[in-house]
Homo-oligomer: A and B are copies of this chain.
């Protein structure tokens, strides 16, 4: 390993599997990036301002990083993570960076390490390992580069060779940054995605007020089931104007329901009045996944279902720091029973696409691959979150391919808010897929010409096609 990254990263150590992987990778490494699902901030592309200092760009907002340091005794305040009550936290970027650098060894064996070393090497041109001893040199180098025009968001977007990127906005968002991007004349393709959790999940903070606001925005009567559904249809259409080709749904489980219109309307009335019956609130979420699938059948938005994360597991952290502070713990997740109501309704549709994700790898071979391998409406999203890692992606291919094939999967998405790491993440995914294909060829399970075709599909084509981009 010369410098921070090796050209043969993640390939077999030697021999024909290495040669094959390298060869496959050569054919795809420079393909444009299609990023159909992620969480970068459209404001960046709209305003095109310089990014902040290294720590506030790379450390403070990255829950992969601060959760690991926290697990080893570093306090979140010391890493600059803001508290809800505005209590004092570290604000000095350099101090935060040094703390991070001292603990960088903790990431050995993790994907965070691979992504960061890739960013350090390829984006910032650094070739010595990060440690306490090199922390300042790192900080100065990166800070200086971030001031340059060619390190502003749009320049990086172009340098990264991003063909299209999707952000995610809530149903109540006015999409003003997207409008600004569109009006700016800049050619970068940034699209939104419809994320209605705040107006679909009765447990969401401010749910009732959110529905009021949804009514105001759309002019629909969100006091009734019919008006509420119409409001969704309007918002979906509005999001489509800003390039949306998909909706995204982050539910605690994959449960769906298929109530009659009358029963659904009655349920909505109870929910709208603030039902405190946990089963009703659960049933409402379940019903809404099916309703969204039906709307997708009608308006063509691809439906993404991201279930199974227990958010904000620690009340202590939640109360002090708020949502999404690394305390999201995967839960065992069912699909075969949970999705049946939705599938009974629209699963055989050939023009609908529902993309399933999981944090529970036990479902890959047992449920997800068998479901996606037969229902025309279903496709499998890539290895997600904690599983978006070399071992995780390898297991995904090993456990889904034999039953669902490659063509019921949808390529890679980076799912990140860490803009600078996007090329690194796609690079890791491409490498892992090429290594997997190389193994199939080396074991004579696939011809070499097929592997080349598949490498391109997995790196580029499938995502474009599945997400209709």
Contacts and interface: CB of A to CB of B under 8 A. Distances in A.
A71 B330 CA distance: 28
B108 A405 contact: yes
Contact of A406 (B109, B347, B386, B402): B109
A228 interface: no
Contact of A407 (B15, B106, B405, B444): B106
B376 A366 contact: no
Contact of A9 (B72, B443, B454): B443
Contacts of A454: 108
A111 B348 CA distance: 25
Interface residues of A, number: 94
Nearest to A348: B316
Interface stretch (A24-32, A387-395, A414-422): A387-395
Contacts of A17: 13
A67 B376 CA distance: 9
A182 to B, nearest CB: 34
Interface stretch (A91-99, A299-307, A354-362): A354-362
A462 interface: no
A447 interface: yes
A401 interface: yes
Given A71-B373, A72-B407, A109-B445, 11 more contacts: A5-B444, A13-B16, A14-B16, A68-B405, A70-B374, A313-B343, A316-B344, A329-B370, A332-B334, A390-B402, A391-B399
Q: Which 4 interchain pairs have the tightest Cβ spacing?
A: A6-B444, A13-B442, A389-B402, A109-B401
16 contacts: A1-B447, A5-B444, A8-B444, A13-B16, A71-B372, A72-B376, A72-B408, A108-B446, A129-B447, A316-B344, A317-B348, A328-B370, A329-B371, A362-B366, A369-B386, A390-B402
